[in-house]
Amino acid sequence: MASFQEVLREVRKVVQEAHPDLLTAFLTELLEAEVFSAEYYQSLFQCTDPDLGVRTDVEDLARKLALPVWQTWDNSKEILYSALGSLEDPQDDFVESEPLTPDPQLLDLVPVSWFEELLFRPDLPEFETPDAYFESLKEECDALDAEAECQVPLKEENEDGKRTKRKLSASLFEELLSRPDLLECDSIDALIESLKDEFETLDAEAECPILVKEENENGKKPKRKRPVERSSRKRRRLNQKKPAPLSAESPPAGSVSHMSDVNMSTPLPQLLHVSLLPCSATPTLQLIQPINGLVRPTYVLVSPQSGGPLYQIVPLSPAVGAVAPVELSRTTQIMSSLSDTASKIQPPSPPTPVSPSKDKTPQDYSPPSTPLRTQEPRPEIPKRVEDYIQKLKSHLKDTYSVMEGGKKMDSHYIDTRLVQRKLVIQTGKNANKCLEKELVVLSDSERRKAMVDRSHVFQNCGPKPKPLITVLGKTGLGKSTLIQRLALDWSTGGLAQFQFVFLLNCKVLDVTKSNYDLKTLLFGLSSAPDCKDSEAAFKYVLANPNKVLIIFDSFDDIGELEGLLQSSATSVTDNSYTVRQLFSGLFQKKILSGCTLLVATRPKDALNHLLRKVDSILEICCFSPKDIQFYVSKCFVEASKQESALRKIQNQQYIFNLCSNPLLCRFTCFLLEQDNPEDDDTLPSTLTDLCQRVLDHHLELRDKVQGSKQDISQLCNMAWDSFKTCSSLLNQDQTEISKQLMDCGLNCEILASHKAQVTYFSSLFMQNFLAAMFLVQSKDINERTLVAQTILNHRKKKVCGEWQDILQRFILGLLYQKATPHYCGALQSFNDAQAKRKTLETQLENLKPGELTPGRLLELFHCVYETSKVRLAKHLVKKLPENLSFCGAQLTPVDVYVVWHLLQHAKGLKRTFSVDLRDTCVPLSGLKELVALSCITSFRAPTLDTIDLWEDLHHNSDEVSLKNALDKFTMDPFKASQLSHLDNLGLLVQIHREKKLPMRESELTLEDGIPAVRHLKKLEYEFGRNEPEAFLKLIEILPALESLQHLDLENNILRDSEAEKLAGVLNSLSSLRILNLSQNRIGDAGMEKLAQSLAAASSLQKLSLYGNEIADSGAENLASVLPAMKSLLNLDVKYNQFTDIGAKKLSMALKNSPSLKSLQMWNNSIPLGVLDHLRIQDNRITAP
């Protein structure tokens, strides 16, 4: 467990450097994790000055936070580390400093007082006349008078200038109702307005929630002032100063505290205690306010005689065995009550606190068990809101029961699996020092283990809820279909945790307008139907945000998100926001905090830099071979047609892999539905050909119905204009097209509409195909513009992600397409097409594939494949680098096929390659195909996937391929930055030692073990921190690496204990030449153990120990074995702690080490003159 001083230091850093919004979120997370109680949470806000907007006592706040964090270290360390990581995020999250305050939105929703709620009761509009309402109110007033009188201090002064108490009861309501202007109201609406004016006037005059009867000198009631708007009233309440810190000590005589000075608006899920200090030295009273959501608050005055003090002072630093203070208790104990309401929630008496002892550590201390709370009743839903919820469910059910293409959701939906992705903090030498998180790339075997179905999307697997969820998936994988399925599930009784589901299609949102508010976003721009009483529904949404699910589909169309977090919506009523600002406010929980937000986007596009802030990342999987077979069977009713269609797909290997994309699988089935099953027509061999033939068939079907051909060249122009803004939405000036062309686009599934008001392109594939058609065939597009939109311009910054990737494939495919489309009227001349083709070929010939990143290299493979030109394919293979790396580029089945297809040309060119497939998620079938290529002499792939490949080949009795796969596998150099890397290496070492695969039924004996283990020469251990478990695993593995020549252990905070373990295995590394132990914390004790082993390291040529904690004793031990290290050529001990004494010892040993060529030993503890003198004596001592 971390020491208190270490925890205090880290907490102090958060308090000093964090933006107030981040600090508020940090405190809220600690409260939700039950690190401290709600009262303690409220007291922390007293460390800020709301008028100045700055923290006035940082050290006090840091110490108040550090103690509970230290006491509950296991629960709070992850929250603290997350806050520390957020401090280093690029400046972008917050712009201006604001005072630390609770969420103002929740404050606004808390009723000002219980009697104000009574006057503004929700059933007020249901009364037919004011008289009926007065009669009902009179009955309630009489009931209140019958109860015990409640004494509340008011800010009133008597003749002596001293403050007095005034007795208030329900009779004050009768005084209010005696007002003639209220009795003269002729309607309920007029009465409501009069009541509002009365309360706002009183609030503006006295800032007191108690109605006081006042009379002027003439005995008449004063004239009412002009009412103050409620918005300003809310602002005043938010700016009120926090109450002074409550103390356990008795107040001095004469001190006064008033109820009106106490801020009762803090939205805490616990109980709020406030001391009421009397004028005299009488015992202090406690005012207890149970806050339960937005229900009417109850105030209870209790005597302090039966209870101890409210708070105890937080110690500056805890003593050994100290326990948490009283206010850190997770449940507030109510000692006594004068109210029946409060007595119902009174827990049992608190247990006797455990006395701290020297033998009891914080880890041994266990807090008293918390009594179970009765489940809060579900808030009653108003009838009009309930009716609208049912209308919303019915609307979503009718809308999403049919999928795109007219297929029924229940019969044709394929429940594809989802992969739970995770983020980790970067580690290793090259990791960003700001604790930046990165998305872990899973291997194929890890993906299979991490798969979940759609029922787990909103499941909380850990202690924290998941209010921010992201679904990733490439174009056409079915993100929108999954979301529609979730909406349909909710409409039919599923997802019962949500009462409202708002689905927003970003393709139809106008992100340029700035006249939206949250209500318009939810009820106007979403797929929700019209709501007659939207105010009531919106009010219920604000009051129950945890019951609301908001979905942003096709988030890529929301535009560039640079600066998104700096400009976000902060008000739920302001109507001057853009869609992006409203999204930012929801994303950062500045508005409607507590709602669940689901965002669907492509992995290459807009949301990438925000992924580190979400709570759950899910990636949708492509179709498996079984899914393809099942989908085809759903598209064809007759068994003969099913068999024929499936046979055609399987015979065309490219199309079969292309069908792993659900949308392209639907395109393929559409083609097969139009063809005669008995025909032997081959399916398309490229993506360009597939989209062109699908469009041809749609237009032919339309022409047969209409009896005339339709020219869609204008649609091509529109597609290009929308592409330039990375948007699927048709621009406003583009909607002035003919109704005939618009109907054609809708009937051919090129376009889609939203609420019959907004039109957009239905799919990225079809939009980019039309845009490419315009670029290739338009006379207004020259060669330079065409080249700028392709992968050939590899220095161009790609800002549109997958938009650009698909477009450039279509451009290359259309330029080399044999058949000319018949549906575009304004075609360019043959000579213009030839010029564009020639320009692109020249760019291809001058391109250097070795300079491309793995992702762009993969796109180049696709572009060349789309041309269907063998000459271009051979030219590409000829210029490929020998070490072919796709590391980091996720490979789908169709990607693997394209690479495999082009590499087959290497045999005739006598080219061989070493291919790197790490971090590619390459499927097992694709890995098998690539490894089987004769031009692949070696490959690197995830360890578990490689073992699965070996077991699969052995299971299929393919011993020749198994031997080739064993011989081709390499892992040199091996880099370990996670514990799983060492686990996988340990598994390979185990197979190598036992010469047997881990399959239970496997009887295969590997005579030579695993060559990759035997030939491993370099191992880099890059954890960047001290991980005892990982280092112990490494020590167990090292003796099996008989050929290891380079062991790099730099910058891992290794101490003397780790150095001692390493010394125990150095003798087994007979081939070791380079040992790097730099930038660790090895001291004299560790150096003493290492020196004994280094003397026997007969092959060691370079030893680096710079940046450790070696003092004179350690330097002396190293000097004693230096002459015995005959093979050592270079020794680096710079930046250690030895003085001139240790330096002289090393210098003397250097005279007896003739083979040593250089010694670097400068540090601040060695006088410069001494070092210069030693350098003069032996020039092998290098200068600093």
Cα dihedral across residues 667, 673, 678, 681: positive or negative: negative
Percent of the chain scoring above 90 in pLDDT: 39
CB 33 within 8 A of CB 65: no
Instruction: Give, to the nearest 10 degrees, the angle between helix 687-706 and helix 739-747.
Output: 120
Q: Which structure tokens are listed for 113?
A: 């007082």
Place of tokens 């046979």: 647
d(CA 86, CA 435): 8
Residue 428 pLDDT exceeds 70 = no
pLDDT value for 924: 94
Regarding predicted confidence, which is higher, 58 or 1011? 1011
Mean pLDDT of 765-771: 93
Q: Which of 172-181, 394-403, 682-691, 1094-1103 is predicted least confidently?
A: 172-181
Regarding predicted confidence, which is higher, 754 or 316? 754
Around Cβ 426, how many Cβ atoms within 10 Å? 16
Q: What is the three-class DSSP state of 596?
A: strand
CB 823 within 8 A of CB 699: yes
pLDDT value for 637: 85
When pLDDT is cut at 50, 70 and 90, the band that residue 330 belongs to is: very low
Instruction: Give me the chain's average pLDDT, please.
Output: 76
Residue 774 pLDDT exceeds 70 = yes
pLDDT value for 379: 67
In order of 337, 899, 923, 925, the CA distances from 624 in angstroms are 64, 20, 10, 11
Mean pLDDT of 186-193: 67
Bridge partner residues of 1028 (DSSP): none
Q: Which of 676-680, 786-790, 1147-1151 is predicted least confidently?
A: 676-680
Q: Which structure tokens are listed for 579?
A: 């869609």
559: nearest Cα among 352, 729, 399: 729
Residue 1009 pLDDT exceeds 90 = no
CB 312 within 8 A of CB 248: yes
Mean pLDDT of 138-165: 46
Q: Which structure tokens are listed for 449?
A: 């283990």
pLDDT value for 784: 80
Bridge partner residues of 914 (DSSP): 883, 938
The contacts found for 1059-1064 with CB under 8 angstroms, 24 or more apart, are 1059/1085, 1059/1086, 1059/1087, 1059/1089, 1059/1090, 1060/1085, 1060/1086, 1060/1089, 1061/1031, 1061/1032, 1061/1035, 1062/1035, 1062/1090, 1062/1093, 1063/1089, 1063/1090, 1063/1092, 1063/1093, 1064/1035, 1064/1093
Mean pLDDT of 642-659: 93
The amino acid occupying position 320 is: V
Neighbouring residues of 909: CB distance < 8 A, sequence distance ≥ 6? 874, 877, 878
Place of tokens 């101890």: 308
Residues in the chain: 1184
When pLDDT is cut at 50, 70 and 90, the band that residue 705 belongs to is: confident
When pLDDT is cut at 50, 70 and 90, the band that residue 283 belongs to is: very low
Q: What is the three-class DSSP state of 778?
A: coil
When pLDDT is cut at 50, 70 and 90, the band that residue 277 belongs to is: very low
In order of 865, 876, 1155, the CA distances from 842 in angstroms are 17, 13, 56
Mean pLDDT of 990-1000: 83
Q: Where are the beta strands (DSSP E) in 344-422?
A: 418-421
When pLDDT is cut at 50, 70 and 90, the band that residue 172 belongs to is: very low
Q: For residue 217, what is the DSSP state?
A: T
CB 115 within 8 A of CB 144: no
pLDDT value for 14: 82
d(CA 1086, CA 1057): 7
When pLDDT is cut at 50, 70 and 90, the band that residue 913 belongs to is: very high
d(CA 71, CA 66): 9
pLDDT value for 62: 81
Predicted confidence (pLDDT) per residue in 61-109, tens digit? 887 788 888 878 877 877 887 787 776 554 444 333 344 444 444 334 4
Q: What is the three-class DSSP state of 1020?
A: strand
pLDDT value for 326: 36
Q: For residue 1026, what is the DSSP state?
A: -
Residue 967 pLDDT exceeds 80 = yes
CB 887 within 8 A of CB 856: no
d(CA 589, CA 548): 13
Predicted confidence (pLDDT) per residue in 1020-1037, tens digit? 999 888 888 999 999 999
d(CA 458, CA 478): 18
Phi-psi category of residue 476: left, alpha or beta, with phi > 0 → left and psi -120 to 50 → alpha: left
Percent of the chain scoring above 70 in pLDDT: 68
When pLDDT is cut at 50, 70 and 90, the band that residue 668 belongs to is: very high
Residue 1086 pLDDT exceeds 80 = yes
Residue 795 pLDDT exceeds 80 = no
Predicted confidence (pLDDT) per residue in 582-638, tens digit? 999 999 999 999 999 999 998 865 566 778 788 899 999 999 999 999 999 988 888
Q: What is the pTM of this model?
A: 0.69
When pLDDT is cut at 50, 70 and 90, the band that residue 810 belongs to is: very high
The amino acid occupying position 840 is: L
CB 555 within 8 A of CB 610: no
Which of 158-162, 211-215, 1094-1098, 1133-1137 has maximum average pLDDT?
1133-1137
Mapping DSSP onto H, E and C, the string for 745-768 reads: HHHCCCEEEECCCEEEECCHHHHH
Helices vs strands, H then E, count in the chain? 46, 28
Residue 414 pLDDT exceeds 50 = yes
Predicted confidence (pLDDT) per residue in 435-487, tens digit? 456 777 888 988 998 999 898 899 875 556 778 999 999 999 999 999 999 99
Around Cβ 410, how many Cβ atoms within 10 Å? 12
CB 894 within 8 A of CB 684: no
Residue 227 pLDDT exceeds 50 = no
pLDDT value for 823: 61
Bridge partner residues of 302 (DSSP): 286
Neighbouring residues of 279: CB distance < 8 A, sequence distance ≥ 6? 162, 163, 254, 256
Predicted confidence (pLDDT) per residue in 540-581, tens digit? 999 999 999 999 999 988 877 777 788 889 999 998 999 999
d(CA 1057, CA 1060): 5
When pLDDT is cut at 50, 70 and 90, the band that residue 389 belongs to is: very high
d(CA 585, CA 105): 12
When pLDDT is cut at 50, 70 and 90, the band that residue 184 belongs to is: low
d(CA 980, CA 445): 13
Q: Which structure tokens are listed for 603?
A: 């992995």
